[in-house]
Chain A
Amino acid sequence: MAVQSDPVRAQAPGPSNTDGAVPGDSLSGPRRSGPGLLSRFAPYALLAPAMLATLTLLLWPLVNTFVLSLQNLNKRQLIQHLTEWTGFSNYTDQLTSADFWHTTERSVVFTAINVVLIMVGGTLVGLLLNRLGSKMRLTLGVGLILAWAMPFVAQSTVYLWLFDSRYGVVNWGLDKLGWHSMATYNWTGNQASTFFVIILLIVWGSIPFVAFNMYAGLTTIPTELYEAARMDGAGAFKIFSSVIYPSLKPFFLGTTFLEIIWVFKSFTQVYTIDGGGPERSTETMPVYSFVEGIGNQHFGVGSAIAILTMVMLALAMVPYFRVILKQEDEL
């Protein structure tokens, strides 16, 4: 179970990937056993189903999104099977619309707040797991797993109940703590409070993943390193910055990057809390694309927003893939 010993490699493509999946002499097997021609084509035959699936089920919808984004495709055109090409006008419309830029800004801020909270919270919980005795660690671990494993729609449903204005336990608690104006507070009534619920929901559901991986990473750091740092008189912060962070840098880089991608494109949590409301004020990019494209049946416009969202995601990926490509030999 080598995968279990390296958190970053196990969770996703990461720059820490140094497991040497291809030992230099791995060719000796097929060369000795198989007939030459057959074994030369064997890898391609093995990859063929996966490649075929990726081309037809992933690449085609991607290309199709772009093709659709160049069309004026609304309910009427859809029903009458009309194809009206409009060039890049869907893009120019978006790029000159205030709604688009507001949504972009909102998505970026939303992502930044979430990712900072997730990474800081996950790191601290991971450090705590490492300090706890085994029984307490198991207890907290069960709690983390419960939050982690909850399906998205169930998460949202429970949060709506927790934050229900009349009978929700959160309002009851705030009232009991003396904040009486919150007794019947409507959390989905305005932008800030709706975002508060969504962010709490996402952070709550995302910390366990980071915490477990952080903890798994910490168990791989030799205790001698801590001892040496402590003998040099290092405090907690110094130990973190001079021992833990350098040892787990690939973990921090890889996980932060993954969380940026996941949060930026998260749809289900945002949509199921209030459908991007009130009055579209909590729409992030994926929800905006969905509401325009599917909800308002402006399929061309929605596709253009989708492509622009993908461009933003791609820009976020650039620094990460530069690191990966630098370490290309280790793939």
Chain B
Amino acid sequence: MRRSLFGRSWPNVIALVLLVFFAFPVYWMVSTSFKPNKDIISKTPVFIPFHATLEHFSTAFKAPQFWEMAGNSLLVTVIAVGASLVIATLAAFAVARMRFRGRKAFILVIMLAQMAPWEVMVISVYLIVRDNNMLNSLVPLMIFYMMMVLPFTVWTLRGFIAAVPKELEESAMVDGCTRPQAFVRVVFPLLVPGLMSTSLFGFITAWNEFPLVLVLNKATGPGTAQTLPVWLSSFQTNFGDDWGATMAASTVFALPILVLFLFFQRKAVGGQTAGAVKG
């Protein structure tokens, strides 16, 4: 009897072990950020923060230029993702709905662009931006982040547009709409969920980006053009062993993404997954 019970429950046991493996680092980050210092630097780890404190968050928020960099991150991300959605929607519509010479070539370009090795293009981008006197500015970040998320956005939106039955568009045109009108009034409303999940991944890419901003925007102090990833990585250097403050900073940086992800992917976990690129 006991054996058969185990036979039925072993997937659940493994699932719980895996749950701990995947969720523990995130839990540890959040719980450390609420623990008083004596619980953090204790010989025996305190697994549940009974004596929760907000002092680490106030250390993080009071760190120089925190709010400025948070604003930078948000502004750069929103503009990069917004611009890429507009440009990508136009291109995706052409690719999904029209047949023309060079279509396959364009698709190949998009596929290749998605593999673009931005990590090793940093030197080149740095010198281009420097020659244009745009170091320590948010504009190059907006422009290049837009390009980083563009290929993926085109690719995903193409699938979403292709999934809208073209009969809907045609019947709108029979009823007297022009093609652009048919797109705006009929196709676009159906694309909203697709646009939202696509922009989630663009948002993550831009929010995460580290090497480029690290190189382009070195200037600190008031008016800095750095973003939160650089802040967090230098925070850890500056605050050394203050793990409470460092984890509070990590939590603040990760929280918007974790919330967005859980919110948007809620349905995906129960049923299907909108797989996407997080690279």
Task: Please list the residues of chain A having a beta carbon within 8 angstroms of any beta carbon in chain B.
Answer: 1-5, 7-13, 19-23, 26-30, 32-34, 39-40, 42-44, 46-47, 49-51, 53-54, 57-58, 60-62, 64-65, 68, 78, 125, 128, 131-134, 136-162, 164, 166-167, 169, 172, 204, 207-209, 212-213, 215-216, 219, 258, 261-262, 265-268, 271-272, 285-286, 289-290, 293-294, 299, 302-303, 305-306, 309-310, 313, 317, 324, 328, 331
B275/A303 in contact, CB under 8 A: no
Would A309 and B11 be within 8 Å (CB), given that A21-B158, A160-B236, A167-B41 are in contact?
no
A133 to chain B, nearest CB (A): 8
Q: Does B121 contact A (CB under 8 A)?
A: yes
B204/A139 in contact, CB under 8 A: no
A164/B243 in contact, CB under 8 A: yes
B132 to chain A, nearest CB (A): 12
Would A64 and B128 be within 8 Å (CB), given that A9-B159, A29-B173, A143-B18 are in contact?
yes
Q: Is the interface of B mostly helix, strand, loop or mixed?
A: helix
A46/B93 in contact, CB under 8 A: yes
Q: Give Cα distance in the complex from A116 to B104, angstroms.
A: 32
Residues of B in contact, count (CB < 8 Å): 114
Task: Please list the residues of chain B having a beta carbon within 8 angstroms of any beta carbon in chain A.
Answer: 11-12, 14-15, 18-23, 25-26, 28-29, 32, 40-45, 87-88, 90-91, 93-100, 103-104, 106-111, 113-117, 119-128, 143-144, 146-147, 150-152, 154-156, 158-160, 162-163, 166, 169-170, 173, 178-179, 193-194, 204, 207-208, 210-211, 215, 229, 232-233, 236, 243, 246-247, 249-250, 253-254, 257-258, 260-262, 265, 268-279
Q: Give Cα distance in the complex from A39 to B110, angstroms.
A: 23
Chain B residues whose CB sits within 8 angstroms of the CB of A9 once the complex forms: 159
Of the candidates A1, A57, A125, A261, the one whose C-beta lies within 8 Å of that of B115 is: A261
B22/A143 in contact, CB under 8 A: yes
Interface centre among A22, A156, A219, A289 (most CB of B within 10 A): A22
B119/A42 in contact, CB under 8 A: no
Would A13 and B125 be within 8 Å (CB), given that A29-B169, A33-B179, A310-B120 are in contact?
no
B279/A262 in contact, CB under 8 A: yes
Chain B residues whose CB sits within 8 angstroms of the CB of A149 once the complex forms: 204, 254, 257-258, 260-262
